[in-house]
A and B are shown apart, each in its own frame.
Chain A
């Protein structure tokens, strides 16, 4: 069974992106299931220093994913949490071995499609312009740079966002702990998108989408921010 793990932000704010991820997997010949019982990877508490609370939540998700041959995550940051930090989170726990096994089988969506399945979407008749914003943890922890760009470049004219690798200011709890700094960072991101005048910016992380889209909407930036899966699925 290939599991599609929606993640907490996916469930709360972007179920459309989860459905779109499912469609991409289908197009790639993968019938993914959404395991009931998977809730959150534990990252909000982990990044705030509350390890046992992170473990309590992640344990539930880990068990729900235990039998999956692969776990696909449409969220770069959660994928990084599971692939890289779970082994520390469960170190010395009963689930240590299971956590390491699941971590090794966990893939961010574009990583799974491009690297594991060798899949790229078919070329559409009409190509729009799109740009891509890197999720910090996906880029600097998982080192996934080319995979999301390959998916986008197959269906659209991909234009590189200046300083695409710079944080959008979400940072999970950071966005509510220091809302003014966080918002100023989002404004920087919107300003860099404005310099290339693309209509759409894609991101592979629901957190980044929530942040940049939320700020674009509030300021009337006239820019569409969407999940990578949504942009690619629209072209299928």
Chain B
């Protein structure tokens, strides 16, 4: 059994996941639809696509500009060619200041396995986004790009939180959130280092932009003495005007909000006369395969702004959640990104090619076409050896009308002797209408 098949079967066997993932994905998809009511969505998508294409086309120059501006403002910029290099750098920074770090949501940090690295070095890492805090407490990985604990019931959250609290909390989401808030507050105050992701890096002004609804991004970047921001290198945008296009596209696509509760824009560490902010700011610009992907026909996948909209509408994601895709990113974007950045070629097939993702992507990444491309690449390599033979035989027969007729009659009559057909008929009847 293949990796995705085994993982998806395990996911299907989890009743909580099966109930919650579709429920909340649907809610997010509906919120997104409402969020764009009365807005010329296609015009916005055109502008978003153009902004992202320009950013990726000019990537080297924009990153140079971002770095120069940040350094001029007193930040330290580190270009990490690999995930391991990024994790090593961040770990060194943290260890210089202490043994604890608070962290706000960052898919780039998931990608490089940062928490594992830090913990192996003896650092306590505390996730401060509520959803991330839940999955961290459960010892799991996020199931969704922006809703990490999408699969958890309040009952499950209660079971995770009550041992931490040492008291009964109950199932009320407000009470559970209140506990997390109080529990995390002292961590914010104690931690010498705060780690965040980056939603956008504005090249023109050297601005790091964070989008959150809980304020934890602001606390992670503002309270500790040291702030480390980890940015996938493709998150750069040219200027504030383009940020103005992409920011509302991100928030409306992700949660249906015109703007999130907190939008944090950082231009370097605390300056001499300022009352607050970190004394040190590090920005880690992560490559980890992105410049390689930029030189391939899959370049447009770098346009992604990580809104999660494709996951919410994906009928496959809805069934299995994000971790079934085997790496950090689930859903259609994961099925494309994972083979490219992480190397699991099978994932290009983890889609029914329904194209629902194409219709919601705010920057019009042709996910459907990219999936087909990945399938072609896989077919051209030895991974599809047996399959290639099967398709050779198939095309031999079906390019000959007589053999075609013979085989389709057989398929209609046989009702399941062929192994492939059996994979259909194990759960479904083969109904023939003569």
Contacts and interface: CB of A to CB of B under 8 A. Distances in A.
A136 B408 contact: no
Nearest to A175: B424
A116 interface: no
B274 interface: no
Interface stretch (A22-30, A33-41, A105-113, A148-156): A33-41
Contacts of A165: 356
B30 to A, nearest CB: 11
Contacts of A222: none
A219 to B, nearest CB: 9
Interface residues of A, number: 64
A16 interface: yes
Interface in A216-236: 217-218, 227, 230
Contacts of B355: 136-137, 140-141
B352 A136 contact: yes
Given A48-B379, A57-B398, A167 B423 contact: no
Given A136-B353, A140-B358, A180 B387 contact: no
A17 B388 CA distance: 32
A131 interface: no
Interface in B297-348: 315-316, 318-320, 348
Interface in A94-142: 136-137, 140-141
Interface string B358-389: 11000000000000101111111000100110
Contacts of A180: 5, 8-9, 12, 427
A218 B428 contact: yes
B395 to A, nearest CB: 4
B283 interface: no
B372 A47 contact: yes
A169 B408 contact: no
Interface of B: 4-5, 8-9, 12, 18, 22, 315-316, 318-320, 348-356, 358-359, 372, 374-380, 384, 387-388, 391-392, 394-396, 398-401, 404-405, 408-409, 411-412, 420-421, 423-434
Interface of A: 8, 11-17, 36-40, 44-54, 56-57, 59-60, 64, 136-137, 140-141, 165-167, 169-186, 188, 210-211, 213-215, 217-218, 227, 230
28 contacts: A8-B398, A8-B408, A11-B408, A38-B401, A39-B404, A45-B391, A47-B353, A49-B348, A49-B372, A49-B374, A49-B379, A50-B388, A64-B401, A136-B352, A136-B356, A137-B353, A140-B359, A170-B352, A173-B349, A176-B423, A179-B423, A180-B9, A181-B12, A181-B316, A181-B319, A184-B18, A217-B428, A218-B427
Given A49-B377, A180-B9, 13 more contacts: A11-B408, A12-B408, A57-B399, A60-B400, A140-B354, A167-B315, A175-B424, A177-B5, A178-B316, A178-B350, A179-B423, A179-B424, A211-B428
